[in-house]
Amino acid sequence: MVKFGADPFANATKQLHDACEILGIKDEGLIKYLAMPNKMLRVKIPVRMDNGKIRVFTGFRSQHNNDRGPYKGGIRYFDPEGGVEYMEREVMALSAWMTWKTSIAGVPLGGGKGAIFVNPKKEKFSRIEMSRLTRRFAFMISEIIGPQKDIPAPDVYTTGKEMTQIMDTYGKLNGVTHQPGVITGKPIPMGGSLARNVATGLGTAYCVREAAQEIG
């Protein structure tokens, strides 16, 4: 079911085609390459709940493009109305937008995005259940992430706590005690950035200011 609003990946693809038309890029092979993710991982995440039963969640990691550097993008916990199939298309679109954002900003990173189809604000999970979910997902994507591969970050309903759990799980699987480069958005004591918690809002404010000056 992909009926909730417009298809986000179709929107992203149209934006790319519009940009290429403005820039005079007519190579269809290049446009197709820039549109589609390099890889799209979809995983089943089995989690033992506090009642002893197993519940299976669905997770995604879209790796859109890494020509400029490691894939980069957040991991969100959310349940859009369009269901799992809508979320898959949304994650693909978000990973593409990350590629273009990092390129426009001139930073040596590519674009990626991840998600688990779950809403911790609607359902009441225990701290242990959420830790199990996060760590199991980290285990399942551990082979495709890393400081030189793909660097996740917080997003909707994820915080530095989840990033620390991902970092810890990745480190244990790779035989290292502390690998801060595998994720961003860590708590400051774990090597995080002082400005991380306000970066998105501050960046939005800067963009609005510049747009207002440009438009008048």
> What is the bridge-based pairing of β-strands 111-117 and 71-78?
parallel
- Check 14, 72, 101, 113 and give the catalytic one: 113
Burial grade of 140 (CB within 10 A; 0-12, 13-18, 19 or more): middle
212 sits in which H/E element: helix 196-215
> What is the bridge-based pairing of β-strands 150-154 and 71-78?
parallel
d(CA 185, CA 62): 19
- Residue 188 DSSP code: G
Catalytic annotation on 113? Answer: yes
Query: Cα dist. 192→73, 167, 181, 184 in Å?
Result: 16, 12, 10, 7
d(CA 174, CA 180): 13
Q: Give how far the C-alpha of residue 140 lies from the chain's centroid of Cα atoms, to the nearest Å.
A: 15
Crossing angle for the helix pair 8-23 and 83-105, to the nearest 10 degrees: 30
Instruction: With CA atoms as reference, report the closest residue to 55 among 144, 146, 130.
Output: 130
Active-site residues, by number, are: 113
